């Protein structure tokens, strides 16, 4: 497939478009992207294509689990392909309410509210819990959806260095606003390490603020049987810790959730704009997420298996000791990372390639995501490919990886 057809996408061919000079600036933007090796293209994958997948977020390998697929089909047959309306109108089925009860119970939280994605869950929760006249302190490692949520909130926003609890405490202590919210990923999405949630919660407690922790990469991986880092740290059920998560990673479905007290849920139902004005989560995704929770309850070891696989991948690549499914192999410039990811693909291994703006300038990387369902043979082959490709790209792997850092 040529670049032309890829960028034209489905539908009209590039030549058929009546180009407008009002959009000529897009050519400059495209040229700039190319020059910086930042151009992204859509690469479709084939189902069960035989490629070893260390790029997807389906950490537990549940996406194609027969119980998930059956539950998605059954929910679709019963309720239809779409939710038919927003949650407050016709988009709530008894499956949505059952999923919320089950998510709350699983995460040991009083209540849950399901959104159409993790992105909209973050936008909805952060905006509804802050607003004009309040302060948000945002951890510098926060996911783009939290960053956008801060921008939408009309609150005063202070961004601190990633993991800098003292800076958070200073911002909270020095504020003039009555209300304050601290937002962070629990497991940082690009690097896979852990935010200092206990210390952040301590700072919030001391300064009468609320902590919002995004467990997108914690749910299904950290905590008792995958109940998340907040549960692991015994912060679940504290009203000043609000949790958001996605159903699209370890749970292998789609959708997002906010977990917290009943009064937080009630507030979001009535004021979170991405809840009120968005179509409810599709029944198939609801059914599949419920099935995923069933599998997780039955197979609590899936969560620890993911981290074991991640540890193996880190040893092979010289990456820092992983604390989640994410293993980040920093290669520096974007061109090198793109080339290494392309070479892995040629050798039958799909890996993620993160470049700025997803990660800081000069830290482009291969991002590997461990999976609980990888076979020993595939893990051995993936290790071989990674060792070969990293050697080809002059990436020296420390023979004694930093297993204790």
Is position 189 an interface residue for ligand PMP (rule: CB under 6 A)?
A: yes
Is position 216 an interface residue for ligand PMP (rule: CB under 6 A)?
A: yes
Contact 110, 260 (CB under 8 A): yes
221, with CB counted inside 10 A (0-12, 13-18, 19+), is buried
Contact 37, 338 (CB under 8 A): yes
Nearest to 300 by CA among 243, 222, 368, 233: 222
Question: Please, which residue, 106 or 115, has the CB nearer to ligand PMP?
Answer: 115
Minimum gap (Å) between residue 247 Cβ and ligand PMP: 7
Minimum gap (Å) between residue 59 Cβ and ligand PMP: 12
Tell me which of 93, 117, 363, 369 binds ligand PMP, using CB under 6 A.
117
Minimum gap (Å) between residue 286 Cβ and ligand PMP: 14
Q: How many CA atoms lie within 13 A of 73 on its CB side?
A: 7
Minimum gap (Å) between residue 255 Cβ and ligand PMP: 7
Q: Indicate the residue whose CB is closest to ligand PMP.
A: 118
Is position 145 an interface residue for ligand PMP (rule: CB under 6 A)?
A: yes
Is position 118 an interface residue for ligand PMP (rule: CB under 6 A)?
A: yes
272-300 b/e (C-beta count within 10 Å ≥ 16 → b):
bebbbebebbbbbbbbbbbbbbbbbeeee
Rounded Cα–Cα distance for residues 119 and 365 (Å): 23
Question: Please, which residue, 316 or 368, has the CB nearer to ligand PMP?
Answer: 368
Rounded Cα–Cα distance for residues 337 and 393 (Å): 9
Q: What is the phi/psi pair of residue 103, to 5°? A: -65, -45
Q: How many CA atoms lie within 13 A of 117 on its CB side?
A: 6
Instruction: Please tell me the count of residues contacting ligand PMP according to CB under 6 A.
Output: 14
Minimum gap (Å) between residue 188 Cβ and ligand PMP: 8
> How does DSSP classify residue 271?
H
Contacts (CB under 6 A) with ligand PMP, residues 55-74: none
Q: List the structure tokens of 133.
A: 């006249």
Q: List the structure tokens of 54.
A: 């260390």
Tell me which of 59, 106, 119, 275 binds ligand PMP, using CB under 6 A.
119
Contact 211, 197 (CB under 8 A): yes
Stretch that binds ligand PMP, among 1-9, 118-126, 273-281, 286-294 (CB under 6 A): 118-126
Residue 53 CB contacts under 8 Å (≥ 6 apart), including other chains: 350, 371
Contact 184, 241 (CB under 8 A): no
Strands (E), 300-388: 326-332, 349-354, 364-369
Is position 79 an interface residue for ligand PMP (rule: CB under 6 A)?
A: no
Stretch that binds ligand PMP, among 22-30, 102-110, 114-122, 358-366 (CB under 6 A): 114-122
Minimum gap (Å) between residue 153 Cβ and ligand PMP: 16
CA 336 from chain centre, in angstroms, equals: 24
Nearest to 203 by CA among 239, 170, 177: 170
Nearest to 114 by CA among 219, 284, 256, 220: 256
Rounded Cα–Cα distance for residues 50 and 371 (Å): 15
Contacts (CB under 6 A) with ligand PMP, residues 229-248: 246, 248
Contact 394, 308 (CB under 8 A): no
Interface mask toward ligand PMP for 2-41; x: CB under 6 A: ----------------------------------------
Question: Please, which residue, 220 or 395, has the CB nearer to ligand PMP?
Answer: 220
Is position 256 an interface residue for ligand PMP (rule: CB under 6 A)?
A: yes
Tell me which of 191, 214, 240, 278 binds ligand PMP, using CB under 6 A.
214
Minimum gap (Å) between residue 327 Cβ and ligand PMP: 15
Stretch that binds ligand PMP, among 68-76, 198-206, 212-220, 306-314 (CB under 6 A): 212-220
Question: Please, which residue, 111 or 219, has the CB nearer to ligand PMP?
Answer: 219
Stretch that binds ligand PMP, among 1-9, 214-222, 306-314, 342-350 (CB under 6 A): 214-222
Is position 156 an interface residue for ligand PMP (rule: CB under 6 A)?
A: no
Stretch that binds ligand PMP, among 112-120, 294-302, 349-357, 360-368 (CB under 6 A): 112-120
Residues lying near ligand PMP in the complex (CB under 6 A) are found at 117-119, 122, 143, 145, 185, 189, 214, 216-217, 246, 248, 256
């Amino acid at each position: 497939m040529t670049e032309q057809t890829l960028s034209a996408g489905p539908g009209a061919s590039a030549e058929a478009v009546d180009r407008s000079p009002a959009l000529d600036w897009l050519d400059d933007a495209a040229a700039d992207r190319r020059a910086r090796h930042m151009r992204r293209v859509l690469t479709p994958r084939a189902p069960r294509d035989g490629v070893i997948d260390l790029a997807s977020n389906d950490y537990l390998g549940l996406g194609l689990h027969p119980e998930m697929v059956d539950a998605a089909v059954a929910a679709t047959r019963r309720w239809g392909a779409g939710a038919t309306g927003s949650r407050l109108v016709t988009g709530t089925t008894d499956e949505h309410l059952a999923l919320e009860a089950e998510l709350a119970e699983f995460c040991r939280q009083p209540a849950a509210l399901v959104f159409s994605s993790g992105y909209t869950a973050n936008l909805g929760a952060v905006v509804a819990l802050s607003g004009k006249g309040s302060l948000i302190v945002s951890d510098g490692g926060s996911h783009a959806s939290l960053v956008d949520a801060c921008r939408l909130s009309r609150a005063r926003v202070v961004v601190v260095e990633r993991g800098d609890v003292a800076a958070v405490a200073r911002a909270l202590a020095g504020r003039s606003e009555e209300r304050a919210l601290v937002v962070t990923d629990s497991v940082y999405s690009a690097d896979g390490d852990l935010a200092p949630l206990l210390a952040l919660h301590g700072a919030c407690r001391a300064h009468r603020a609320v902590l919002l922790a995004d467990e997108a990469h914690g749910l299904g991986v950290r905590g008792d049987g995958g109940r998340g880092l907040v549960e692991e740290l015994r912060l679940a059920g504290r009203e000043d810790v609000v949790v958001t998560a996605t159903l699209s990673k370890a749970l292998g479905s789609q959708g997002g959730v906010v977990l917290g007290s009943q009064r937080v849920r009630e507030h979001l139902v009535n004021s979170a704009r991405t809840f009120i004005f968005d179509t409810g989560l599709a029944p198939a995704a609801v059914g599949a997420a419920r099935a995923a929770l069933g599998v997780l309850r039955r197979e609590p070891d899936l969560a620890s298996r993911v981290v074991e696989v991640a540890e193996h991948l880190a040893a092979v690549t010289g990456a820092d000791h992983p604390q989640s499914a994410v293993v980040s192999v920093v290669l520096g410039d974007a061109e090198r990372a793109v080339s290494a990811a392309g070479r892995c693909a040629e050798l039958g291994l799909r890996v993620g390639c993160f470049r700025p703006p997803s990660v800081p300038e000069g830290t482009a990387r291969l991002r590997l995501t461990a999976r609980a369902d990888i076979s020993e043979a595939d893990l051995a082959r993936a290790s071989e490919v990674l060792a070969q490709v990293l050697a080809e790209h002059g990436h020296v792997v420390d023979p004694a990886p930093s297993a204790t850092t």
